[in-house]
Structure 1
Amino acid sequence: MRQVVLIAATFVAPPAMAQEAEPDGPDIVVIAGKPLRVDAKLLRAAQRRFAEDRPSYAPQGTLRFELWRGADRISAAGVGLALTDGAGRQLPVTIDADGRVAFATLPAGRWFLTAPAQSQGMRLRPIVLSSGTSVEDRRLGDLRAQCRVAVSMAKADASLLAMPLIGMFDAIGGCASKRFGFYHMVEHPLASATATGAGVTRTLRLSAKRTSYEAPLSDRTLSNEARVRLAYR
């Protein structure tokens, strides 16, 4: 039986059969009816990890953050996001044309990503995309970098009880381990997902509800330039 890491959900899950795996939420969860308040230390952890890994995995990549409700991605444009400190000062948040959040240099000190209370819960997730790619046609290197960014955020937000599980994850190879499955959420039900490299094509495993796919992060026959392509139903 394999372990399953739900990287789109940014946490390490307990043992489960891969065909039953379904990402159902990250550590960064906003409960319905409560304001969003994400400590900027998580965003800084993501930026540091991405800056370290970008030359190797995603030299043309950018790091953004997405908001999700259930299996639906929502635009951050209408949520009222801001960076707020303990003194009540606010800074605007940059949102790109696709409704994703972009950060340049985060201000020093104790800041939070905030938004007014929502009628429905939300989730915050990182995404790495290179220029000339899309969620339907991605570089495998971008997915590898995204996994490492997500794990860094989980570590920054982990409780003491979660640290042994995260330590085990690191000990067996982390995102490069063959003993874990890495599932990534998509916005529409999938018909298929494939990974294609130099003379190599892999048909990727889909989750039970076809709302996520298992990316071949540990497959050494596929370089970072291999492409993961999706077809929707």
Structure 2
Amino acid sequence: MGRVRLALSLGALLLSNPAAAVPGKDEPDTVHVSAIRNPEIHKYKAILAGLDTFDKHRALAPGVPELRFRVAPREGVGLPEQPKASIEGERGFMLPLAIDARNRFTVPRSEAALAAEGELVLNQRRHFYQVMPDVRTPGLPDNVRRLGDLRLECKVMITIAKEEAPLLLVATLNGLLRTRDWCGFFNEYAYTIDFRTELPVVSAILSEGNRSAALKTGKQSFSIALNEPSWSDDALVELTFAAPTGTAGGTPRTAP
């Protein structure tokens, strides 16, 4: 278990903010979306690697037409008002990204952005907000997550984290976990991975056919043994969210 604890501790540090794990990482010379200090930043080439992983493994979520990203608040912080994002790079390169009303956006493939050594810059401080991959099969309620979507989301997240992390850290984690497939490590009930929710959650139930299992929840997350082989990609996680503060009765709700 010592190997597991050390690996998961390092992984949690890496995945909480992969860009911050790179020694000597500086802010871009020009930040067009905001003059805010220490903004959330990701290398564009890391985002491209995430897009490649999505394309390679999209059989996990065949109903998802494209990879999206979302602006996610860290625990204890509310959703930002009107976040802005862009790809920014050398020689004044800037490519604005359109963020929808639910804080979702896509990132296009751009040779110009790659040549400019671009970075995805969010006008929110990295200690309060983060950019996360968002894989959701159309047609499902907001409180239901499909297991194959979560599996693909994890693969994209890990790819981006690895691309931004120091090679020594990646090699160390590969050795500790005894696999390069970090998402695949979570294939037993003893080892789970946390997924953040947009609202406080009071319960999470994994179900498929006639069986179900209660999942551990945090204040704003749920934990799952992501690759337990007895559950197929079509298994569903149903979340029950807490009632908004100040509402009458305090009854939990199952959709935002």
What band does the TM-score fall into relative to the shorter chain?
0.7 to 0.9
2:195 is aligned with 1:184:
yes
- 1 CA distance for matches of 2:125 and 2:73? 11
Question: Given the two structures, how large is their TM-score scaled by the length of structure 1?
Answer: 0.79
Which residue of 151, 161, 171 maps to 1:164?
171
Cα offset, 1:132, TM superposition? 1.0
Say whether the 8 Å CA contact 2:15–2:161 is kept in structure 1. no
Cα offset, 1:4, TM superposition? 6.9
- 1 CA distance for matches of 2:118 and 2:127? 24
Say whether the 8 Å CA contact 1:28–1:123 is kept in structure 2. no
- Hey, which of these two has a bigger chunk of helix by percent? 2
- Hey, which of these two has a bigger chunk of strand by percent? 1
| 1:26 matched residue in structure 2 | 17
| 1:129 matched residue in structure 2 | 136
**CA distance 1:113–1:216, shift in 2 (3 Å):** same
2:224 is aligned with 1:219:
no
Say whether the 8 Å CA contact 1:33–1:120 is kept in structure 2. no
Cα offset, 1:111, TM superposition? 1.4
**CA distance 1:121–1:203, shift in 2 (3 Å):** closer
- 2 CA distance for matches of 1:73 and 1:128? 21
Q: Secondary structure at the match of 1:123?
A: strand
**CA distance 1:155–1:200, shift in 2 (3 Å):** same
Say whether the 8 Å CA contact 1:26–1:124 is kept in structure 2. no
Gapped regions of structure 1 (runs ≥ 5): 6-11
**CA distance 1:24–1:90, shift in 2 (3 Å):** closer
**CA distance 1:170–1:104, shift in 2 (3 Å):** farther
Bigger-Rg structure (1/2): 2
2:121 is aligned with 1:114:
yes
- 2 CA distance for matches of 1:80 and 1:154? 22
- 2 CA distance for matches of 1:15 and 1:212? 20
Which residue of 196, 201, 212 maps to 2:207?
196
**How many corresponding residue pairs?**
219
- 2 CA distance for matches of 1:15 and 1:158? 11
- 2 CA distance for matches of 1:229 and 1:4? 28
Deviations 1:1-20 (A, max 9, x none): 48479xxxxxx63289xxxx
- 2 CA distance for matches of 1:220 and 1:117? 38
Cα offset, 1:24, TM superposition? 8.8
| RMSD over equivalenced CA pairs, Å | 3.3
Which shows bigger deviation, 142-151 or 30-39?
Answer: 30-39
Q: Secondary structure at the match of 1:78?
A: coil
What letter corresponds to residue 197 of structure 1 in structure 2? E
